[in-house]
Amino acid sequence: WGYLLSKYSGEEDVLFGVTSSGRPTDLPGVEKMVGLFINTLPARVQVSGETKVVDWLKDLQVKDSKRRQYEYTSLTDIQGWSKIPRGISMFNTLYVFENYPVQEQSFDNELLILGFDGLEQTNYSLTLAVIPDEQLTLKLMYDLRYFEKETINHLYNHLVEVLKQITEDSPQKKLNELMYLTDRERNQLVVEWNQTNVEYPQDLLIQDLFESQV
């Protein structure tokens, strides 16, 4: 997600929000506590093209572990410590990894919960939710005031393409060797939009052709 934001923005240093469960595993009985512990923390990612993918992923994992030490800190306090003025959002995109257990359970052999539906909403213009299972589910939520459906579809396809290249190709690749464009988009850029052959008078000089256009 950080890689794609970097490519879209043209910046090697990107910032986005990451949700945290806020339930420390070393706290006895934390899974039985009732209440909303979830918190959002800023995640800063540097995307240097010369870095190997495997080294970059390891660095992200280390930084994520360090960030969890501060998962109880409010975003308001963090922004107060930063150089970003209050009233200006630190980030506009949010990353959510929904890794919480959901299982079927029966009650006295009379009631069986087979499934459920939920309505999700965020205050950010663009949110990526990742749900792990036998297959990884990706879900993009966006503000219709800022994005069109076609734009989001392109973004989704680019994200899938990056994930495929990271998992299928050699992890020794460098970040600048990754390509987020799909095969169809690459063909459109390289072949379709590069059809420059055109008939023109062969007996005229370049200045003559320019003058005729003027």
User: β-pairing, 126-131 with 93-97?
Assistant: parallel
Dihedral sign (CA 90, 94, 95, 101): positive
What is the per-residue pLDDT across 30-47, written as a single tens digit (0 to 9) for each?
A: 667 776 667 888 999 999
Long-range own/partner contacts, residues 166-172 (CB < 8 A, 24 or more apart): 166/53, 166/57, 171/52, 171/53, 171/54, 171/57, 172/52, 172/53, 172/54
d(CA 67, CA 37): 16
Mean pLDDT of 136-151: 93
Spell out the alpha helix ranges (H) of the chain.
2-9, 53-67, 75-81, 149-168, 183-190, 206-213
3-state secondary structure 31-92: HHCCCCCCEEEEEEEECCCCCEHHHHHHHHHHHHHHHHHHCCCCHHHHHHHCCCCCCCCCCC
Pairing status of strand 39-46 against strand 13-20: antiparallel
Pick 195 or 156 by higher pLDDT. Answer: 156
Neighbours of 60 (CB within 10 A): 15
Cα separation, 72 vs 20, in Å, equals 9
Burial class of residue 164 in the structure, from the number of CB atoms within 10 Å of its CB (0-12 exposed, 13-18 middle, 19+ buried): exposed
**C-alpha to C-alpha distance for 202 and 186, rounded to whole angstroms:** 32
Across the chain, mean pLDDT equals: 84
Over residues 51-71, the pLDDT tens digits come to: 999 999 999 999 988 887 777
Residue 4 has pLDDT above 90, yes or no: yes
pLDDT, tens digit, 9 for 90 and up, residues 79-120: 888 888 888 888 999 999 887 655 555 556 666 667 766 666
| All structural domains of the chain with their residue ranges | 2-101+112-196
Give me the sign of the Cα torsion angle 209, 212, 213, 214.
positive
Please list, in sequence order, all residues whose beta carbon lies within 8 angstroms of the beta carbon of residue 167, skipping any fewer than 6 positions away: none
Q: What is the DSSP letter of 118?
A: -
Provide the pLDDT for residue 62: 93
CATH superfamily of 2-101+112-196: Nonribosomal peptide synthetase, condensation domain (3.30.559.30)
